[in-house]
Structure 1
Amino acid sequence: MTYDIVVVGGGIFGLSVAKAALGKGLKVALLEKNTIASGASAGLVGALMPHVPSQWNEKKQFQLDALMELSDIVAELEEATGLSVGYSRAGRLIPLYTEHKLEHSLARVEEAKQRWRSDETGFTFNVVKETPFSDWLTPEAAPLGIIWDTLAARANPRLVSAGLKAFLEPHIPIMEHTEFLGFDETTGTVSLGNGETLSADRIVLSAGYEGFGPLSAIAGKTIGMGVKGQSLLLEYKTEKPLPVIYDDGIYVVSHANGTVAIGSTSEQEWTSKEPVEDDIQKMLAKAIAFCPSLKGAPITARWAGIRPKCKKRDPLVGLVPGKDKTWVATGGFKISYAISHRIAACLMQEMFPEQGKPIHLPESFKPPHHFG
């Protein structure tokens, strides 16, 4: 069999690309060197955050549009598979404790009404003195008020990946423990680490940070790198969805399964892929400082992973320069779960242009921006 598309990499981008291609009626195969979502996509946090509405640009608009449509995307996936992905439009709280942060936030309130189309969508970005969640974010941590945005959401990353895998399995071959060695565009031959080959019309590279090596070789310069992230999971049951808290570089996310995730670090220099207990304890201490109810909650999991970050920061989506049949979708870094469905849709329209109104792909996401 000749596949229309072979997707290399079983993280959130690869899974989403495979799903989008399947939706086009294409013959798809998915290759994963390890197991599905075993790398950066196996994280714990799952905070789905909009950008603060200032210095607006097309990248921020892209992420906003992705978040706006995410509820429908999730509902369709859950209905198709019968599996929950732990999604909730829970909102976000950010404590304010400096005059500078307060002034900056107040200046964003009106802009948010315009950018988020608050009258139409109902999503707001406000500065308030207190919230109904004072037993969650302690008022002492927010002496000057709190940013309360109602657009932010959360989902369980591992459940999202499991849901996508369950959706795909009846329809396409998912080849785990299968290493990709190369693709001959002339013959359409995909070479695998087990000595076998596949035939494909084109491939999509979504192999996480390890995929930057071949891309950098093509470009003759560094295209991206791996940035280590760490997080932890606490046992913590709540009766209602609680908003994400963000402060001092730390996210606290209350999940639907009786856990709270705390993370994560961003370490450009690292020697070990494993969690470092000192880092875990520092994150936990920071979180307890603004969310004291977490004190004493047992740690049930620790995680570390290497996330793909393009050198020019934005994701990389499109046809690899100098190639005719080799495409790429990578570099989602911290926002992959929020935008993966829209990235995949854009890649499909880049491959197969259609009439009608296309999704706008920011210029800074396209290969010329990264390779030029």
Structure 2
Amino acid sequence: MATDKITVHGAGVFGLSIAWVLTQRGAKVQVIDPYGIGAGASGGIVGALAPHVPENWNPKKQFQLESLLMAAAFWQQVEEAGGLSAGYARSGRVQPIADVAALALASAREDTAKTLWGEVAHWKVRPIEDQEWCAPSATGLEIHDTLSGRIHPKQACAALAAALLERGVEVVEDGPETPLTVHATGVAGLEALNANHSRLVGAGIKGQAALLGFARPDAPQLFADTLHIIPHADGTTAIGSTTERDYGDPARTDAQLDDIIARARAAVPALADAPVLARWAGLRPRSRSRAPMLGAWPDRPGHFIANGGFKIGFGMAPKVAHVMADLILEGRNMIPQGFEVAASL
């Protein structure tokens, strides 16, 4: 095991999760972020831990499956250590089935889920069970999967920071250089990489989301009209999100969010009168390959990159943290080939 202190740049979910696992394994860690905890995409409000569909299996989908299965133990340890809730639950997800073609596709995926997910989770076609927590469906049927979960992103970052603080690790604005350094700096990190390469390494993709005053904390998340609708443990419900490649102010909400709110109310009548408590906009880091960028930074000995979480960063974080710790502390590279930093540079 490395004995020198390790610096983690970035207090988003990747940086904090990696710092947490490194600390759990006995490493000395400092976390540096001049903007504070969850200042970027990780400070959002949606938190849909939704799996890829069970078909056309690949290493990315397998990695995500394993990470989602690790999530319950990971977040329980974080909450027990720091005393703050991350808002995590493996609450499942329901999706209305609109027509015969969608039913055929959903049924085929039910069969492949049995092979790909095994007994750890299911993907089932069933009659709509909760007429109040659903979207209208001409077939009267829905998909129910038990792999999906939910988390409150901003609260989860705070929970990780609290757990680290209990281990003596603070998030600071600046600190000394160390022989081992992890760069988990999100959009800013991708922009810095772009400046030093002839082709695009990654970019920030804007998203907008809303938080409604509607309490269904024990309900599954809903996926309807391409929207993620997430009942949080604190009695709120999040709706998101847009995917914007062209934008002006990355932190400003606009009519596109108004449209999302209107569509959510139309899709789920139970939300019709729920007040809007908060509006959020921000940039999410997406690598050119759309997979996370993980591993050693080529030509920079002792430096590592963990970036590109985009929409699945919180779902990937538990396993990302462990494979990065394996690499940094033990030299074991368990990172899928398509995730390797060199593949995106």
Q: TM-score, normalised by structure 2?
A: 0.94
Matched, 1:210 2:188: yes
Q: 2:147 aligns with which of 148, 151, 164?
A: 151
| Map of 1:363 onto structure 2 | 337
1:63 equivalent in structure 2: 64
1:135 aligns with 2:132: yes
- Once the two structures are overlaid, the 10-residue window that deviates more, 51-60 or 272-281, is 272-281
Deviates more, 1:242-251 or 1:60-69: 242-251
2:208 and 2:138 map into 1 onto residues whose CA distance is 26
Give the Å deviation of 1:144: 5.4
Report how far residue 142 of structure 1 moved.
4.7
Letter in 1 for 2:218: P
1:292 aligns with 2:269: yes
Could you tell me whether the CA contact under 8 Å between 2:79 and 2:163 is conserved in 1? no
Q: Which amino acid aligns with 2:126?
A: V
Most deviating of 224-233 and 90-99: 90-99
| Percent identity of equivalent pairs | 34
For residues 244-294 of structure 1, the C-alpha deviation after alignment (integer angstroms, 9 at most, x for no partner) is 111232110011111000001111111112332312211111111221010
Residue ranges of structure 2 left out of the alignment (5+ in a row) = none
Q: TM-score, normalised by structure 1?
A: 0.88
Give the CA deviation at 1:350. Answer: 1.7
SS of corresponding position for 2:209: strand
AA in 2 matched with 1:347 = M
Over alpha carbons, which structure has the higher Rg? 1
1:222 to 200, 210, 216: 200
- Show the counterpart of 1:110: 111
The answer to whether the Cα contact below 8 Å between 1:27 and 1:172 also exists between their aligned partners in 2 is no
Q: CA deviation at 1:70?
A: 0.8
Distance between the aligned counterparts of 1:36 and 1:6, measured in 2? 15
- Answer whether contact 1:36 1:176 (CA < 8 A) is retained: no
CA contact (8 A) 1:320 1:328 kept: yes
- How far is 1:158 from its partner? 1.3
Distance 2:148 2:333 in 1: 22
Matching residue of 2:51: 50
Relative to structure 1, the CA distance from residue 142 to residue 233 in structure 2 (aligned partners, 3 Å threshold; closer, same or farther) is farther
Tell me the equivalent position of 1:160: 156
* Corresponding residue for residue 95 of structure 1: 96
Secondary structure of 1:204 counterpart: strand
What CA distance in whole angstroms lies between the structure 2 residues aligned with 1:369 and 1:99?
A: 40
CA distance in 2, matches of 1:270, 1:172: 40
1:326 and 2:279 correspond: no
Q: Does structure 1 retain, via aligned residues, the 8 Å contact 2:99–2:138?
A: no
User: How much does 1:320 deviate?
Assistant: 1.0
- Cα-Cα RMSD: 1.8
How far 1:141 sits from its partner (Å)? 3.2
Partner of 1:303 in structure 2? 280
* Unaligned ranges ≥5, structure 1: 179-196
CA gap 1:347/1:79 in 2 versus in 1, 3 angstroms: same
| Distance of 1:228 and 1:155 partners within structure 2 | 20
Match of 2:212 in 1: 234
State the Cα distance separating 1:65 from its structure 2 match: 0.6
Deviation of residue 221 (structure 1)? 2.3
Q: Does 1:73 align with 2:71?
A: no
CA gap of 1:335–1:76, structure 2 versus 1, over 3 A, is same
Task: Give the CA deviation at 1:218.
Answer: 4.0
- Paired with 1:221 and 1:23, the residues of 2 have a C-alpha distance of 38
Distance (whole Å) between structure 2 residues aligned to residue 165 and residue 79 of structure 1: 13
Aligned length: 343
Q: Secondary structure at the match of 2:298?
A: coil
Q: Distance in 1 between matches of 2:225 and 2:299?
A: 43
